[in-house]
A = this chain, B = another copy of it.
């Protein structure tokens, strides 16, 4: 099953499969079964096989998948075979934390510049990077041609930043501002809304508890 359309939920899981392989590789494990992958990411084995079938068939019946090959294939399909350049916009506490977070680098996402509009921050260092003024973003991208940008600014400024990124021609955005942003449809946006995550947690617990509690309070 090679040239088919890949469902969105499958893409989400493929990313997880890719990320869980690195520890296996480091531990020198050469082959892995769908059952093992399933356990690592909290799914079931047939689903893993179905998802992986979108990459074409290359598992060995009776043995499993070659870890290195699987990783290479996944990275290739996801466009992660070489390093991705990332701009970070916003050098507040969240932006700083993201900048210091080593996990991106390890997986091939290289934050190559940080921008902010606060004159008090511009020029200061953040790890190995120097914070640049937001007005330098477009010229900087002409040189670097980055693959994506992370928005870590207050909600009130997020749309303006998004507009700037569109203008700069950066094709995908991850934003931590809880405001949905509007961009041309060909762009990809992922909104990470931390408050929403907590709200969903609360809801799940509440609905479960309420299931035992029949008397309706309204």
Contacts and interface: CB of A to CB of B under 8 A. Distances in A.
B188 A204 contact: yes
Please tell me the size bucket of the interface on A. 35 or more
A50 B99 CA distance: 41
Given A191-B218, A216-B8, A198 B79 contact: no
A149 to B, nearest CB: 10
A186 to B, nearest CB: 8
Nearest to A79: B206
A217 B194 contact: no
Interface string A4-36: 111110011011101110000000000000000
Interface of A: 3-8, 11-12, 14-16, 18-20, 40-42, 76-80, 84, 86, 92-94, 96-98, 100-101, 103-104, 107, 109, 147-148, 150, 155, 171-174, 178, 180, 185-186, 188-209, 212-218
